[in-house]
Amino acid sequence: MIDTTLIGQILANGILFGAMYGIAAVGLSLIYGTMRIIFLAQGTVIVFFSYICYWLLTLAGIDPYLSLLIIVPLAALLGMGFYYGIFKGSAALEDRNVSLLIAVGLMYLMENIMLVFWKAEPRAIVTAYTDWVLNPFGISIQFTKLMALALAIAATVVVFLFLKRTRTGTAVRAASEDMVATTLIGVDPNWVNAAALALGLAMAGVAGVGISTVYSFDPIYGFTFSLKALIAVALGGLGNVWGALLGGITLGVIESAASYFIGSGWTEAISFGVFLLVLAFMPQGLFGSRGAIRAEQSRPEVIPKDLPKAPAPAGTAREHRPALVKHLNKIIVAVVIIAFGAVPFYVDVDLSYAGYYLFMVFIFIITAQGWNLVAGYTGQISLGGHAFFGLGAYTTLIIWSRDLTHTGYYFDPVVMILSGLVPVIAAVIIGLPLLSRLRGDYFAFGTLGAGQIITVLILQGGAITNGAGGLHVPSSVYTSMRPYYWVGLALALFATFLVFFIMRSRMGLALRAIREDETSASSHGVVILRYKIISFALSAFLAGIAGSLYSYYLLAIDPYSVMSLNWIIYPILVCVLGGVGTIIGPIPGAFFVGALFAFGSIYLKQTHPILTGALIILVMNFAPSGLLGLRDRISFRRRR
């Protein structure tokens, strides 16, 4: 017999908490609909205003719900400041990838600022009405959760009326349909974008108050809430205000039911599984219209044998140069490689910090070359590299700790290859449905969701992965830093030369064609899906062997060390600093990022992650092509 009270309780819990997902999704949908960026900092902003609410109550005695009179205008002003301070330039460039990376940098910046000021200790708001409970029809409903639902509905009504009844709201709606046409009739696009971001952050302020009165919170929780808001947007349909709220409520009900019937440990995986299914098969959302922004599907066609090659340079001056000059670049590369290979002979890498610094530089180069292969050359931003890195690390320790290969070697090449192949298998399984149906921002959504599913699988892996406890090998296997250094150097060279040879091949030409114009590439016979899958799988392979190498060094791993947000940020930062879409770019980028972390870990132990977030924002605003692009621009100006 069906227990109606139990079903009612599950639905009530889901609806009440899902309302907070919904109000966060309303803001995220508004920002995306107008500015066309995935504002991943939305959840971090929500947590920030939860802290503001907490401190207004603690220091000034202002009731959380009254604090909305302060927080909402403050959030709107912050949104205006964010747009004119850091997003205006990327909006003018109309490069959504640049804006996405700025949003990632902002998320990282704000999260670490909160960690410095408020630490990682959970905070909770306690008032006279915190323990009030209503019991209609035998269902327990916490008063603060009911108030959160009321806030969500009220805020959505206000946003709906603003969009329908005000001139600015009408401009925002028009811009979400066609920004160019809106600009042609005299509407300032900067004002529209700023208004959308202000309104989106105002909704984040409301969500921050609602969450702080119901649950404890800490700075790290922001990223999780961004992901949940993203799922709610996908469920509700982009640009649909009421759909976003209903999407959040739907997600809340799914999580509530999954937690009760399956277990709380699997809730995240189920949520992201639903997210991926909706992205792949109903990109307009459960409550969106068919005319909403949707993913585009690639057309599989046969690649001709005569795919054109890159044109040869004009003139014959190069042919008559002396042999030494013609091969100068090769000589320089060989000398540099030999010099770095000899470092352990004239520097004690065990006692000097230089050994660890260069080792991390090599890992950054490997992961960045993999990310660059997908994002820089194919034009598809991947946000799931942390999962492939973690899979490689776990594969290594699972195989090595159980001696499954029976070789007895510590740096076992067979183990490292297998640690790269496991992420390749995962990448193909993930890539086939995602890359065949999704591209652009939707693909970034999908890789992020798939990465979180893999993380949950690792956490729920039982005796195989040991869950949150992770895996370890005896510390006695460590003898010297030298083998780590040489293996790291060899793998960094392998990753770089692999990308080099790919980009000089027909595959490289096909990847560049896909990046520039998929429709045109397909019309010339390029099999879009094939090349996307290959590049995605190779990227996963490089991330996997980097994770394998890192696990050999750590000796002990857990999901929080090898599958954290950092391993999304690092390759992105390295590439944007050095130059996305260049073979050499990740190398200076890796040295720069390694030096930044080395300096920060010694002299700025708490604040260097803040510098990392700020650096991403600055680079994407002032040198979106990276250090190499900045060099070229300076040289061009000098020539002029």
Could you count the other beta carbons within 10 Å of the beta carbon of residue 280? Answer: 16
pLDDT above 60 (res 110): yes
Rounded mean pLDDT, 617-638: 62
Q: What is the value of pTM for the model shown? A: 0.82
The pLDDT, as a whole number, for residue 382 is 87
Has residue 558 been placed in a domain? Answer: yes
Q: In terms of domains, do 230 and 180 share one? A: no
**Closest to 225 (Cα-Cα) out of 238, 240, 212, 242:** 212
Has residue 307 been placed in a domain? Answer: no
Bigger pLDDT: 518 vs 44:
44
pLDDT, tens only, 385-404: 899 999 999 999 998 888 77
Has residue 454 been placed in a domain? Answer: yes
Has residue 237 been placed in a domain? Answer: yes
Tally DSSP H helices, then E strands, for the chain: 28, 4
Has residue 323 been placed in a domain? Answer: no
pLDDT above 50 (res 316): no
Q: In terms of domains, do 194 and 225 share one? A: no
Dihedral class, residue 365 (left if φ above 0, else alpha if ψ from -120 to 50, else beta): alpha
Highest mean pLDDT among 133-142, 205-214, 511-520: 205-214
634 pLDDT band (50/70/90 cuts)? very low
The pLDDT, as a whole number, for residue 322 is 58
Contact predicate 64/215, CB 8 Å: no
Q: In terms of domains, do 468 and 350 share one? A: yes
pLDDT above 50 (res 342): yes
pLDDT above 70 (res 95): no
End-to-end CA distance of the chain: 82
Sign of CA dihedral 443, 105, 558, 351: positive
The pLDDT, as a whole number, for residue 297 is 38
Query: In total, how many domains does the chain have?
Result: 3
Q: What span, in angstroms and rounded, lies between the C-alpha atoms of 381 and 398?
A: 30
312 pLDDT band (50/70/90 cuts)? very low
Highest mean pLDDT among 82-91, 156-165, 227-236, 360-369: 360-369
The pLDDT, as a whole number, for residue 96 is 63
Instruction: Name the least confident of 3-12, 207-216, 368-377.
Output: 3-12
Beta strand extents in 209-335 (DSSP E only)? none
625 pLDDT band (50/70/90 cuts)? low
Residue 261: its H or E element: helix 241-261
Q: In terms of domains, do 209 and 345 share one? A: no
Q: In terms of domains, do 233 and 187 share one? A: no
CATH number at residue 474: 1.10.3470
63 pLDDT band (50/70/90 cuts)? very high
320 pLDDT band (50/70/90 cuts)? low
- Structural domain of residue 247, as residue ranges? 221-288
The pLDDT, as a whole number, for residue 198 is 92
219 pLDDT band (50/70/90 cuts)? confident
The pLDDT, as a whole number, for residue 423 is 95
pLDDT above 50 (res 304): no
Residue with tokens 């190398």: 587
Contact predicate 268/460, CB 8 Å: no
604 pLDDT band (50/70/90 cuts)? low
Instruction: Kindly report the average pLDDT of the chain as a whole number.
Output: 82
pLDDT above 60 (res 290): no
Q: In terms of domains, do 426 and 440 share one? A: yes
Rounded mean pLDDT, 46-65: 93
Instruction: Name the least confident of 64-73, 139-148, 375-384, 473-482.
Output: 473-482
pLDDT above 90 (res 494): yes
**Tokens for 6?**
């139990």
Q: In terms of domains, do 170 and 242 share one? A: no
Has residue 377 been placed in a domain? Answer: yes
Q: What span, in angstroms and rounded, lies between the C-alpha atoms of 303 and 300?
A: 9
Has residue 229 been placed in a domain? Answer: yes
Q: In terms of domains, do 225 and 335 share one? A: no
pLDDT, tens only, 128-178: 888 888 888 778 888 988 898 898 899 889 888 888 888 888 887 777 776
Q: In terms of domains, do 617 and 492 share one? A: yes
**Where is the domain boundary, 219, 244, 274?**
219
**Where is the domain boundary, 168, 199, 219?**
219
Has residue 295 been placed in a domain? Answer: no
The pLDDT, as a whole number, for residue 528 is 86
pLDDT, tens only, 528-558: 888 899 999 999 999 999 999 999 888 889 8
pLDDT above 80 (res 256): yes
Q: In terms of domains, do 552 and 583 share one? A: yes
**Where is the domain boundary, 288, 317, 346?**
288
Residue with tokens 């992205």: 279
pLDDT above 90 (res 100): no
Q: In terms of domains, do 215 and 225 share one? A: no
Q: What span, in angstroms and rounded, lies between the C-alpha atoms of 153 and 380?
A: 36
65 pLDDT band (50/70/90 cuts)? very high
Q: In terms of domains, do 250 and 360 share one? A: no
Please tell me whether residue 123 adopts helix, strand or coil conformation: strand
Bigger pLDDT: 96 vs 320:
96
Residue with tokens 């100006």: 637
pLDDT, tens only, 406-465: 666 667 788 889 999 999 999 999 888 888 877 777 788 788 888 889 998 998 888 888
